[in-house]
Amino acid sequence: MTFASTAVRTVYQAAFNSLERPLLFVQNLVGMRRVAWMFLLPNLVIFGAFTFLPIILNYFYATTGSDAILLSQRPYVGAENFRTLLACKDYLDPNTCQQDIFWRAIHNTAKFVVLQVGLMIVFSLVTALILNRDIVLRGFFRGVFFYPVLLSPVVVALIWKWVLQRYGLLNAGLEEAGLSSVNWLVDANWSFFWIVFVTIWAHMGFYVLILLAGLQAIPSDVYEAAEMDGASKWRVFYRITLPLLTPTMVVVLVLSLIRAVQAFDEIFVLTGGGPGTATTLILHYIYETGFAARPRLFGLAAAASILMAAVLMVLTLLQLAVTRSRAEG
């Protein structure tokens, strides 16, 4: 440990010494009034190249066609990509749409978002309430629920794929209990159930943590007063805990909505969007259209991502409004 910290210190020192002279020169060149920009510059250059510029470029891609990546080689097609995506006789039936997979992905995403976020909030709340109690080994149990949050999505998916496979642990357990085994990831309905389950398993701990922080921010004298008045446990929960936790709940709701709309990694590895397109979500469609399939339809992918961005923008503005009102309130 001392060796490591000495090494870090030496590198830190060396970095400082080698950079001081040139940066002092820059400081004298630009003057004290503009020295802040010297510090901002590296970050802003990266932001510009990989965030701001792409936002603008995205619109150029969405309005041009062909499979060329260079914008100069792409013919202008106007709103053609959007028209292709939105060409549908009946929006509730993906089979009547020109891009039927896009609409299937939208349907799946909507279903996924509602189920995943709804169930995750219920389970996170129950878990947070229990972990907030006075129980032995509380610290350990908190760690237990948080651990999967740190695992990579690929690892999460592979862990569950191994448990759920045809001759896996779950099926062995079911047969042991006298039930029949199921080919979980081949059946469309079960696959959908499992992508909801696995994403909740992997991300729940994060929301439990935020809810716990919210629960602990509720002053204890409120509870003591209620206890003095002889309020029942349910009454305390409905009249004190829930109302005082609402702002935290809204933050959790919005954060989990934003993430659910963009769900991809675990599902891609676990089911590959299948069977068929049963678990293909919107980001999967974008990846498939723009990068995996040949020819690469960049325009269609960009148009789809702009539609997704619109949804996310609304959700994020909601989040900002909520956090602001919470900070002020």
47-76 residues near other proteins, rule: CB under 8 A: 47, 49-58, 60-61, 69-71
- Kindly write out the interface string for residues 227-266 of this chain, putting x where it contacts other proteins by CB under 8 A and - elsewhere: ------x-----------------x---x--x---x-xx-
Contacting other proteins within 73-132 (CB under 8 A) = 126-127, 130-131
> Cβ of residue 116: shortest distance to other proteins, in angstroms?
16
Closest to other proteins by CB, 86 or 318 = 318
Closest to other proteins by CB, 188 or 315 = 315
Kindly state the number of chain residues that form the binding site for other proteins, as judged by CB under 8 A.
102
Q: Which residue type does 70 have?
A: L
Phi–psi pair at 279, nearest 5 degrees: -120, 25
Nearest alpha-carbon partner for 299 in 142, 94, 78, 102: 78
Our finding on whether 184 is near other proteins (CB under 8 A) is no
Question: Contact with other proteins (CB under 8 A): which of 91, 162, 237, 238?
Answer: 162
Question: Contact with other proteins (CB under 8 A): which of 6, 7, 18, 20?
Answer: 20
Span of 80-88, 94-102, 163-171, 237-245 interacting with other proteins by CB under 8 A: 163-171
Closest to other proteins by CB, 74 or 107 = 74
> Cβ of residue 168: shortest distance to other proteins, in angstroms?
8
Contacting other proteins within 264-303 (CB under 8 A) = 264-265, 268-269, 283, 286-287, 290-291, 298, 301-302
Q: How many whole angstroms separate alpha carbon 212 and alpha carbon 210? A: 5
Closest to other proteins by CB, 43 or 92 = 43
Question: Contact with other proteins (CB under 8 A): which of 101, 209, 218, 236?
Answer: 209
> Cβ of residue 23: shortest distance to other proteins, in angstroms?
4
Closest to other proteins by CB, 95 or 326 = 326
Contacting other proteins within 133-152 (CB under 8 A) = 133-136, 141-152
Q: What HEC string does the chain produce? A: CHHHHHHHHHHHHHHHHHHHHHHHHHHHHHCHHHHHHHHHHHHHHHHHHHHHHHHHHHHHHHCECCCCCCHHHCCECCCHHHHHHHCECCCCCHHHECCHHHHHHHHHHHHHHHHHHHHHHHHHHHHHHHHCCCCCCHHHHHHHHHHHHHCCHHHHHHHHHHHHCCCCHHHHHHHHCCCCCCCCCCCHHHHHHHHHHHHHHHHHHHHHHHHHHHHHCCCHHHHHHHHHCCCCHHHHHHHHHHHHHHHHHHHHHHHHHHHHHCCCHHHHHHCCCCCCCCCCCHHHHHHHHHHHCCCCCHHHHHHHHHHHHHHHHHHHHHHHHHHHHHHHC
Question: Contact with other proteins (CB under 8 A): which of 169, 186, 293, 321?
Answer: 169
Closest to other proteins by CB, 42 or 295 = 42
Question: Contact with other proteins (CB under 8 A): which of 1, 76, 176, 329?
Answer: 176
Nearest alpha-carbon partner for 290 in 274, 272, 302: 302
Span of 79-87, 100-108, 154-162, 187-195 interacting with other proteins by CB under 8 A: 154-162
